[in-house]
Amino acid sequence: MDRDLLYRFFEGKTRLEEEKKIRQWLEISEANRNTFLRERKTYDALLFGSPGTSKPSREGHTISWYRIGTVTATLLLLMVSTLYIRGLIYENNRQEEYNTLVVPPGQRIHLILADNTDIWLNANSTLRYPTEFSRKGRIVYLDGEAFFEVSKDDKKPFMVKTTSGDIKVTGTSFNVEAYSKQGSFETSLFEGSVEIYKNDHKLTTLNPDERSYLEDGKLYVTPITDRDKYLWKEGLIAFNNKSLEDILQSLEKYFDIRIQISNSSLPQRTYTGKFRQSDGVDYALRVLQKSIHFSYQRDETTGIVYIK
């Protein structure tokens, strides 16, 4: 196996076709799997070989963390999920009914609707969509995060409905984050234009490279400055100059857990890095421990993770 390909995989820069190639290579022999783990250790040694000292919170500390043990099963799951959803849509699209798709924590699913709209669903998300769109419009219901590439049809607008607001388009590429538990509502536009609604009242229209987000009951529009946060579509959770508290909040969202910090002496620094969703929350916390001195314990009864 080409070492450059493996290192790009560790960095989260491989395409799905390349991930498939790596999965097939891993399945061939135990020797290949041992080579994989050996290269992973070498990569980690290069990455963490020069431990940094404490810095002011404005400066970034780079962390990159992954787990490899479940890569084969995860890649296979993602491939099967895509094929299954496509088959489900095209077999059932003559029925007047809705499908509900639930993505488990730590995973993501790719699907294509009957109108050829392409959707990636993030972890811990739910999408409700019709097996066949009506003649007047195309409506789906989202609780969570999704990336849409909407098939253009000026006569049949596409509407994404959430608990906090709605997004109306005719054909475009955009990301929506609307987890009802967190009360989040953020739309990021990459191509075309979208209209944001609340209770059938139009609030604003987004242009490419703009994002809108809800905060304290107000909707704000700003330029997109951090594109790494959309790497989740490639199976990565990325952080760019984020505090430990922000990182832990993201882990809560993606893995559907609760994390409580009881150690007030943790360093107030920012971190930049990324890890694969398939790595799991325990591995992410263990790697964070390499840069931050803390311990953690999971309450098996409540599921709460305590940071000490």
The band of 119, judged by pLDDT with boundaries at 50, 70 and 90, is very high
Residue ranges of domains in the chain: 1-49, 73-228
pTM for this prediction: 0.66
pLDDT digits (tens, 9 = 90+) for 228-249: 889 998 888 888 888 888 888 8
- The mean-pLDDT minimum among 5-19, 81-95, 152-166, 233-247 falls in 81-95
Q: What is the mean pLDDT of residues 46-51?
A: 41
- The mean-pLDDT minimum among 69-78, 109-118, 211-220, 250-259 falls in 69-78
SS (H, E, C) the chain: CCHHHHHHHHCCCCCHHHHHHHHHHHHHCHHHHHHHHHHHHHHHHHHHCCCCCCCCCCCEEEEECCCCCCHHHHHHHHHHHHHHHHHHHHHHCCCCCEEEEECCCCCCEEEECCCCCEEEECCCCEEEEECCCCCCCEEEEEEEEEEEECCCCCCCCEEEECCCCEEEECCCEEEEEECCCCCCCEEEEEECCEEEEECCEEEEEECCCEEEEEECCEEEEEECCCHHHHHHHHCEEEEEEEEHHHHHHHHHHHHCCEEEECCCCCCCCEEEEEEEHHHCHHHHHHHHCCCCCCCEEECCCCCEEEEC
The band of 12, judged by pLDDT with boundaries at 50, 70 and 90, is low
- Per CATH, the number for 73-228 is 2.60.120.1440
* Residue 286, pLDDT score: 84
pLDDT digits (tens, 9 = 90+) for 176-231: 999 998 889 999 999 999 999 998 899 999 999 999 999 888 999 999 998 988 99
* Residue 44, pLDDT score: 54
